[in-house]
Structure formats: structure tokens, C-alpha cells
Amino acid sequence: MKKKASHVGIILSFVVFITFVVFLFSILSPSIQTNQDKQFVMDYLKQELQKQFSGELEKTTISIDPDNLDNKDCITLIGFMKNFLEEDLVVKVEEERVDHSMAGNQLSFERGNFERIAEIYYSEELNSETGSPSVPCDPIQEEDYNIKLVKDSNPIFYSKIETATNNFEDFKASLEIPPQFDFSFELESSEGEIIFEVENKIPQGVDVFSEQIPIQYLDENAELMSGFINIKVW
């Protein structure tokens, strides 16, 4: 009789244990699934933000013989063969940005410290604000300058991050994040300064996933800068 009672007790204990496990799983399962979904959204954003903030950039390096630069404060490259818009260009001489203008296939820019090499950056994402040359420009014929290098790349642009920050609701809608989730991001410089920050308040009592992505981005002066995109998902 005691043996039988012992078996019954073991069975009841087992049933109670299984019931407790099922109960515990039913409580924890939604939370586990939600956190998994948040991680999925985070992984998606880490890739998609970098994709959305990237754009096409063409860098052209020009070489001119110093003998052709004597007594010239501003030069015009004749037959440059690039129908660029002025606002999409940055011209740099010895790493310094100089004023320029574009008319048809003729590019004019101030000489600055030009000794031999100039770099011309073109992208619709630059949104360059520059002045035209303030002195008369002397022509440099096609045979007197060389296009040394044309390089295409797809960097992250400061201007695209700024646009997304200033129009965050429209930008967020374009990403088609499931409505039960929300996120924010910020651009942080390599010195720790927050440059752009999305104003999107995090509700109290929610679990927040956060990750930091190291990036390099091109600023409005075509300078390559280091920094971070900080992402929060809840």
C-alpha cells in the first residue's frame, strides 16, 4: 500500500512540475520572441541605414605642368568634358577647398596653393555651397593638363544622414519597420560629440536594444571623417 502511495506521489510531483514548466514557458515565450524580433529589426537597420546613407561619388585627379601655371591666380580647364552642376562639385587643391565655377565643359577654379595636382569631387549628395572665383581665370588647353585618375565609390554622406534626421517620420516610414517596433539613431563623431540626433522618445518600461556601428562618412567639404551611428530599437 505504501509502495502504491509512493508511486502516486511521484506521478503527482511530475504533473505539478510539468504544469509549472508549461506555465513558466507561456509567460516567458512572448518576451523571448519579442527580443528575438527586436534583434532582427536591429540587424536589418544596421545594414539598411548604411545603404540608405550611401551615395555615388566620382573623384577625378588633374595634373598640370607647373610651367603652365606661372602668373595664374585662377585657371580654366578647357574641354574638361564633364557636364557637372556647380553645386555638385568640390574642388580641392593641396587638400584645401577652393572656389570654382562650371560652364558647359569648362571648369574654372582659383589656384590657391596649386603646384601640380588638383582633385575634383562630384556627387549629387554633396550639396556644395561655394563661391565663384573672385579673380579672372586663365585658360589651360586640353593638351596642357592630364586626367590622372577617375575613381568611383559609394561612401556614406553627411548630407544624407542630416536629411534623414530632419525628416525622420518620412524616413522611418520608408524603411517599413513593423508597427509594434520603433527606433532612433544618432551620428557621433570620433571625439564623442553627438552631431545629429533623432528626437524619438523611448517609452518607460520597455526593453531597449542598442548597438554602435563604426563608419566613415564624407562631409560637405568632401573630407572623409570617422564616427559612429548609434542605433536603439524598442
Q: Are residues 123 and 193 in the same domain?
A: no
Q: Does some domain include residue 72?
A: yes
Q: Does some domain include residue 21?
A: no
pTM for the predicted model, two decimal places: 0.75
pLDDT score at 25: 46
C-alpha span between 187 and 227 (Å, rounded): 7
Q: Are residues 43 and 102 in the same domain?
A: no
| pLDDT tens, position by position, 115-167 | 788 899 999 888 667 778 888 999 999 999 998 888 899 999 999 999 998 99
Q: Are residues 61 and 147 in the same domain?
A: yes
> Which residue, of 135, 153, 171, is where some domain finishes?
153
C-alpha span between 80 and 99 (Å, rounded): 17
Q: Does some domain include residue 20?
A: no
Q: Does some domain include residue 16?
A: no
C-alpha span between 220 and 225 (Å, rounded): 11
Average pLDDT over residues 192-212: 91
Q: Are 97 and 130 in contact (CB under 8 A)?
A: yes
Q: Does some domain include residue 8?
A: no
Q: Does some domain include residue 24?
A: no
Query: What residues form DSSP beta bridges with 227?
Result: 189, 215
pLDDT score at 66: 83
Q: Are residues 170 and 219 in the same domain?
A: yes
Q: Are residues 140 and 175 in the same domain?
A: no
C-alpha distances out from residue 99 to 108, 137, 198, Å = 9, 12, 33
Q: Are residues 135 and 189 in the same domain?
A: no
> Which residue, of 153, 183, 203, is where some domain finishes?
153
> Which residue, of 129, 153, 177, is where some domain finishes?
153
Query: Three cell numbers at 138?
Result: 586663365
Nearest 5°: phi and psi at 44?
-65, -45
Query: What residues form DSSP beta bridges with 98?
Result: 91
E strands present in 5-73 = 57-64
Q: Are residues 83 and 162 in the same domain?
A: no
Q: Which residues contact 50 (CB under 8 A, 6 or more apart)?
A: 156, 213, 215, 229
Q: Does some domain include residue 90?
A: yes
Nearest Cα residue to 87 out of 220, 217, 223, 225 = 220
Range of the domain at 166: 36-54+157-233
Q: Are residues 132 and 170 in the same domain?
A: no
Q: Grid cell 562630384 — which residue?
A: 122
pLDDT score at 119: 92
Please state the domain count of the chain. Answer: 2
Q: Are residues 133 and 102 in the same domain?
A: yes
pLDDT above 90 as % of the chain: 49
β-pair type (145-153, 89-93)? unpaired
Classify 222 in phi/psi space as left (phi over 0), alpha (psi -120 to 50) or beta: left
Q: Does some domain include residue 179?
A: yes
